Amino acid sequence: NPGDNLFITGLSGRTTSAELEELFNKYGKVQKAEVMYDPHSRESRGFGFIRMNSTEDADRAKTSVSGTEVDGRVVTVEKVCKICQFKN
Protein backbone atom coordinates (compact mmCIF):
# COMPACT_ATOMS: atom_id res chain seq x y z
CA ASN A 1 0.00 0.00 0.00
CA PRO A 2 1.59 3.27 -1.06
CA GLY A 3 -0.32 5.07 1.70
CA ASP A 4 -3.34 6.19 -0.30
CA ASN A 5 -5.79 3.49 0.83
CA LEU A 6 -8.01 4.17 3.87
CA PHE A 7 -10.22 1.90 5.99
CA ILE A 8 -13.29 3.56 7.53
CA THR A 9 -15.28 1.92 10.34
CA GLY A 10 -18.37 2.80 12.36
CA LEU A 11 -20.50 3.54 9.31
CA SER A 12 -24.26 3.73 9.56
CA GLY A 13 -26.26 1.20 7.57
CA ARG A 14 -27.61 4.16 5.59
CA THR A 15 -24.23 5.47 4.38
CA THR A 16 -23.61 4.77 0.68
CA SER A 17 -20.43 4.62 -1.38
CA ALA A 18 -21.49 7.80 -3.20
CA GLU A 19 -21.90 9.66 0.11
CA LEU A 20 -18.45 8.51 1.24
CA GLU A 21 -16.94 9.69 -2.03
CA GLU A 22 -18.62 13.08 -1.66
CA LEU A 23 -17.35 13.44 1.92
CA PHE A 24 -13.76 12.45 1.16
CA ASN A 25 -13.61 14.57 -2.02
CA LYS A 26 -13.53 17.61 0.27
CA TYR A 27 -9.98 16.62 1.25
CA GLY A 28 -8.56 15.50 -2.10
CA LYS A 29 -9.36 13.46 -5.19
CA VAL A 30 -11.01 10.10 -4.51
CA GLN A 31 -10.13 7.29 -6.91
CA LYS A 32 -12.61 4.84 -5.39
CA ALA A 33 -15.02 4.72 -2.45
CA GLU A 34 -16.73 1.49 -1.47
CA VAL A 35 -18.99 0.52 1.41
CA MET A 36 -18.84 -3.22 2.07
CA TYR A 37 -22.12 -5.18 2.09
CA ASP A 38 -23.07 -8.64 3.32
CA PRO A 39 -23.46 -10.78 0.17
CA HIS A 40 -26.57 -12.56 1.49
CA SER A 41 -28.57 -9.87 3.27
CA ARG A 42 -27.15 -6.97 1.23
CA GLU A 43 -26.97 -4.93 4.44
CA SER A 44 -23.99 -2.68 5.13
CA ARG A 45 -21.27 -4.31 7.20
CA GLY A 46 -20.47 -0.91 8.76
CA PHE A 47 -17.11 -0.38 7.10
CA GLY A 48 -15.62 0.59 3.78
CA PHE A 49 -12.51 1.56 1.86
CA ILE A 50 -11.41 4.80 0.26
CA ARG A 51 -8.59 5.05 -2.27
CA MET A 52 -7.30 8.61 -2.51
CA ASN A 53 -5.27 10.06 -5.37
CA SER A 54 -2.17 10.61 -3.23
CA THR A 55 -0.68 9.91 0.18
CA GLU A 56 -1.02 13.60 1.03
CA ASP A 57 -4.76 13.52 0.22
CA ALA A 58 -5.15 10.36 2.31
CA ASP A 59 -3.34 11.91 5.29
CA ARG A 60 -5.50 15.05 5.09
CA ALA A 61 -8.73 13.02 4.81
CA LYS A 62 -7.77 10.67 7.67
CA THR A 63 -7.03 13.58 10.00
CA SER A 64 -10.15 15.50 8.99
CA VAL A 65 -12.77 12.73 8.96
CA SER A 66 -11.69 10.35 11.75
CA GLY A 67 -13.69 11.02 14.92
CA THR A 68 -16.42 12.96 13.12
CA GLU A 69 -20.08 12.10 12.82
CA VAL A 70 -21.36 10.64 9.54
CA ASP A 71 -25.07 9.78 9.32
CA GLY A 72 -25.37 9.89 13.11
CA ARG A 73 -22.37 7.62 13.81
CA VAL A 74 -18.82 8.54 14.86
CA VAL A 75 -16.42 7.02 12.35
CA THR A 76 -12.78 6.00 12.53
CA VAL A 77 -10.39 6.28 9.59
CA GLU A 78 -7.11 4.37 9.42
CA LYS A 79 -4.55 3.71 6.71
CA VAL A 80 -4.65 0.20 5.31
CA CYS A 81 -1.43 -1.65 6.04
CA LYS A 82 -1.14 -5.11 4.47
CA ILE A 83 1.80 -6.10 6.68
CA CYS A 84 -0.12 -5.04 9.82
CA GLN A 85 -2.89 -7.54 9.02
CA PHE A 86 -0.48 -10.43 9.53
CA LYS A 87 1.10 -9.24 12.80
CA ASN A 88 -1.86 -10.27 14.99
Provide the pLDDT for residue 14. 94
73 CB neighbour count, 10 Å cutoff: 15
Q: Give 13-57 pLDDT, tens digit per residue.
A: 999 999 999 999 999 999 999 999 999 999 999 999 999 999 999
Q: Kindly report which listed range (9-13, 76-80, 81-85) carries the lowest average pLDDT score.
A: 81-85
3 state SS of 76? strand
- 6, pLDDT greater than 60: yes
β-strands 44-52, 30-37 pairing: antiparallel
Q: Are 61 and 24 in contact (CB under 8 A)?
A: yes
- What is the model's pTM? 0.85
